[in-house]
């Protein structure tokens, strides 16, 4: 039973994953300055629409998917947890490749990361308790939203503040760090996920077949939800590409941290988050290649 499976993930591995995600967030933050936030404050509609798509539309669509498919409890909660996370670290790179508004993408990642302190634990608890089987897991684990908020804050917000500060005071340093650090952080994260999967390869193979199709469908729904939300809100094609990608690229690394930190490495949840981390990069890069063929109207 996948609900009873537990993947092997040591405390040292969890600490390493926290550090990797902090580096990833720092690599995003050194693209930002306080001026970026002030500009968005003057024209906030695309950002508001993007955050609404990220934290309201995607979790709601995920819940409808769970109701329709009725997966096992840990798989359902894994999908909900991934949907509750902020945008992923590669979304900015993919948006740039897609010819979308990269500045909006970076700002959405930053604002969503800050908002995740409240929105992520709320969405996990709210939507998870509406589905009976996953509600049982939440009751058994006694999830503490405050502890999740602290974990998100230390792992994501602190590097964000440090990155913005460094970019403001020493842009010469961040200019040299930007490209190498972004590529390095992505490579380290992918390597880490690969090593973690290798340590649990037998269990991963046992359960992956039942989950792969669901993750692919979930990711497609996320991308479609972002595109539809941006279209209905009347955003330009330039901004619509950013919102679409930000909604479809989730911070599955944060999801893994929460799964191993608060749910004991529950098999179904961990396999969902791990495969999300692989698949959203593939789907995002493929979508960017298609979008990038034409210039987006602004």
pLDDT-derived band at 273 (thresholds 50, 70, 90) equals: confident
Question: Is pLDDT above 90 for 224?
Answer: yes
State the average pLDDT for the chain. Answer: 82
pLDDT tens track for 167-209: 888 888 888 887 787 777 767 766 766 666 666 666 666 667 7
Highest mean pLDDT among 80-89, 91-100, 159-168, 231-240: 231-240
Instruction: Give CA–CA dist 53/31, Å, rounded.
Output: 23
pLDDT band at 144 (very low <50, low <70, confident <90, very high): low
pLDDT score at 279: 85
136-140, 150-154, 244-248, 274-278: which is most confident: 244-248
Query: 31-45, 111-125, 210-224 — which is least confidently predicted?
Result: 31-45
- Written as one string, the DSSP assignment of the chain is -GGG-B----HHHHHHHHHHHHHHHHHHHTT--HHHHHHHHHS-HHHHHHHHIIIIIHHHHHHHHHHHH---HHHHHHHHHHHHS-B-TTHHHHHHHHTS-HHHHHHHHHHHHHHHHHHHHHHHHHHHHHSHHHHHHHHHHT--HHHHHHHHIIIIIHHHHHHHHHHHH-HHHHHHHHHHHHHHHHHHHHHHHHHHHHHTHHHHHHHHHHHHHHHHHHHHHHHHHHHHHHHHTT--HHHHHHHHHHHHSB-HHHHHHHHHHHSTTBHHHHHHHHHHHHHHHHHHHHHHHHHTTSPPP-
Higher pLDDT, 120 or 32: 120
Q: What is the rounded distance in angstroms from the CA atom of residue 219 to the CA atom of residue 225?
A: 10
Query: What pLDDT does residue 42 have?
Result: 75
Q: In the 8-state DSSP scheme, what is residue 157?
A: I
Q: CA-CA distance, 271 to 212, in Å (whole number)?
A: 9
- Categorize the per-residue pLDDT at 130 as very low, low, confident or very high, splitting at 50, 70 and 90: very high
Cβ partners under 8 Å of residue 188, min gap 6: 20, 23
CB 2 within 8 A of CB 72: yes
Residue 113: predicted pLDDT: 80
How confident is the model over 31-67, as pLDDT tens digits?
Answer: 777 776 676 677 789 999 999 999 999 999 999 999 9
Who's near 289: CB < 8 A, 6+ residues apart?
97
Predicted confidence band of residue 14 (pLDDT cuts 50, 70, 90): low
Predicted local distance difference test score (pLDDT) of residue 199: 63
104 — pLDDT class (breaks 50, 70, 90): confident
Q: Which of 153-162, 222-231, 270-279 has the highest mean pLDDT?
A: 222-231
Cα 270 to chain center, whole Å?
14
Please compute the mean of the pLDDT values over residues 101-129 and round it to a whole number: 85
How much is the CA Rg of the chain, to the nearest whole Å? Answer: 18
pLDDT of res. 19:
74
Per-residue model confidence (pLDDT) at position 257:
78
Question: What integer is the mean pLDDT of 54-82?
Answer: 94
Q: Give the bridge partners for 266, in sequence order.
A: 6
Domain coordinates of the chain in residue numbers? 2-290
Whole-angstrom distance, CA of residue 230 vs CA of residue 258: 29
SS3 250: strand
Q: Which residues sit opposite 6 in a β-bridge?
A: 266
Fold of 2-290: Na+/H+ antiporter like fold (1.20.1530)
Q: Lowest-pLDDT range, 6-20, 190-204, 242-256, 277-291? A: 6-20
CA distances from 128 to 50, 132, 229 (A): 23, 8, 23
Query: Given a cut of 80, is residue 218 above it in pLDDT?
Result: yes
| Rounded (5°) CA angle 134-62-276 | 90
CB-CB contact of 171 with 30 (8 Å): no
């Amino acid at each position: 039973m996948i609900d009873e499976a537990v993947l092997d993930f040591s405390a040292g591995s969890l600490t390493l994953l926290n550090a990797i995600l902090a580096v990833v967030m720092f690599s995003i933050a050194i693209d930002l300055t306080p001026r970026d936030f002030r500009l968005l404050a003057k024209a906030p509609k695309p950002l508001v629409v993007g955050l609404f798509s990220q934290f309201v539309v995607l979790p709601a669509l995920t819940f409808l998917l769970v109701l329709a498919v009725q997966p096992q409890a840990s798989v359902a909660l894994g999908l909900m947890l991934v949907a509750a996370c902020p945008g992923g670290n590669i979304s900015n790179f993919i948006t740039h490749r897609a010819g979308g508004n990269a500045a909006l993408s970076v700002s959405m990642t930053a604002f969503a990361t800050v908002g995740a302190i409240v929105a992520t634990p709320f969405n996990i608890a709210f939507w998870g308790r509406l589905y009976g089987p996953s509600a049982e897991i939440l009751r058994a684990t006694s999830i503490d939203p405050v502890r999740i908020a602290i974990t998100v804050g230390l792992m994501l917000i602190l590097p964000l503040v440090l990155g913005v500060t460094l970019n403001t005071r020493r842009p010469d340093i961040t200019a040299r760090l930007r490209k190498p650090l972004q590529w390095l952080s992505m490579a380290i994260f992918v390597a880490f996920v690969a090593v973690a999967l290798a340590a649990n390869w037998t269990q991963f193979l046992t359960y992956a077949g039942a989950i792969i199709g669901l993750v692919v469908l979930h990711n497609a729904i996320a991308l479609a939800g972002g595109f539809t939300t941006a279209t209905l809100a009347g955003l330009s094609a330039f901004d619509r590409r950013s919102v679409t990608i930000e909604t479809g690229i989730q911070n599955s690394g944060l999801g893994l941290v929460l799964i191993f930190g608060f749910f004991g490495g529950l098999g179904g949840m961990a396999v969902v988050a791990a495969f999300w981390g692989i698949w959203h990069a593939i789907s995002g890069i493929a979508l960017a290649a298609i979008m990038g063929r034409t210039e987006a109207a602004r």
